[in-house]
Structure 1
Amino acid sequence: MKKERAQELANTIGVHIGNARRALGITQEEASERIGITVEYYARIERRQALPSLQVFAQIAAVLNVSSDILLGFDPTSPDPARAAPPWFELPEPDESKELQRLIRRLRRLPPEVVTAVDAVAKQLERFIDKQRQKRRR
C-alpha cells in the first residue's frame, strides 16, 4: 500500500476509533486494557500514527462494539458502493480489463520519474498507432 493511502487509512481508523471509544465513555487506558495492547500503542493508533494488525483491529472493533466497516470509513447508509467507499479505498473501473488493472498496480509501485518515462512511451505508441491507422485508410 502506498504511503499516502496508508496514511489516509490510519487517519480514518484513528478518527473512528476515537469517536467509538468516547461514545462508550472509556479512557484510552481502559480501551487498551480490554483490547490487550499497551496504552502507548493504542494512543498511537488513535492519533493516526500507527496502523493496527488485523488481529488487533478485530479486537478493537469487538471491544468498542463498532462495525469494522465503520472503523474503515465505509458509509453503510449509502446505496451507491462508490460513494460509500472512503478516500483510501479505490475501486477499479468496471470496464477495466485484468491486464489494465495489473498494469496500474505496477505503475503505482514505480518512482515518479519512471512513471513519467512510461507515459512518454505510451504517448509515442499512441501516435504510432494513429499514423498506422491513417495509412490504412488511404
Structure 2
Amino acid sequence: MTATTTEHDPALAESIGTQLRGVRSRREWTQAQTAKRLALSTEFYARLERGHALPSTPTLVRLCQVLQISADTLLGTEDAPLVGPDPDPPRVRKVLRRLRRADPRTLRMVKMVLDALAEQEARRRARRARRVANA
C-alpha cells in the first residue's frame, strides 16, 4: 500500500485531501477516474481525499504530475490557486483518444471534414454579419 497513517499529522492529511478534492472537482473528474489516472485504487484515493491517509513520496510525486499542481500547493504551504478545470470536456477527450489511434488515411478524411465544416461556419458568419449590417 502507498499510505501511511495520519497519526503523526492529521492536519497535513486533511490539507492534502482538500486540495485533491478541489482539483478533481474543478476538472470534473470522478474519484474513480482520478484514481485510474494515478494508478491507485479508488478506495485509497477516496481515503486521501477524506484526509484519512497520507501518500507515500512516490505517490505524492505522481499526484503532482498527473494533477498538474505543485507540491507546495498540494501540501498547503503555498496560497496558490487550484488548477482550473480540465480544458477539454469528456466528449472532446474521447474524440482525441480515438484520433490518436487512427491511421493516417482516417486522419486525412477527418481533416477534410473539419475543413469543410469550418468553411461552412465561415460562410454562415459572413451571411449573419451582412444581415446585421443591412438591418
Distance 2:44 2:24 in 1: 15
Higher relative contact order by CA 8 Å / sep ≥ 6: 1 or 2? 2
Find the aligned partners of 1:76 and 1:54 in 2 and give their Cα distance. Answer: 22
Matched-pair contact (CA < 8 Å) for 1:24–1:64: no
Deviations 1:18-47 (A, max 9, x none): 101111111110010010010000000000
- Larger mean CA deviation between 47-56 and 57-66 belongs to 57-66
Q: 5+ unaligned residues in a row in structure 2: which ranges?
A: 1-5, 81-135
Identity of aligned residues (%): 35
Partner of 2:51: 48
- Tell me the residue number matched to 1:96: none
Unaligned segments of structure 1, at least 5 residues: 78-138
Tell me the amino acid that sits aligned with residue 23 of structure 2.
A
| 1:34-45 alignment, distance < 5 Å | 34-45=37-48
RMSD over equivalenced CA pairs, Å: 1.6
Q: What is residue 21 of structure 2 aligned with on the other side? A: 18
**SS state at 2:15 partner:** helix
Alignment of 1:1-138 (within 5 A): 6-76=9-79
Q: CA deviation at 1:76?
A: 5.0
Distance 1:11 1:65 in 2: 20
Aligned residues, how many? 75
CA distance in 2, matches of 1:74, 1:53: 18
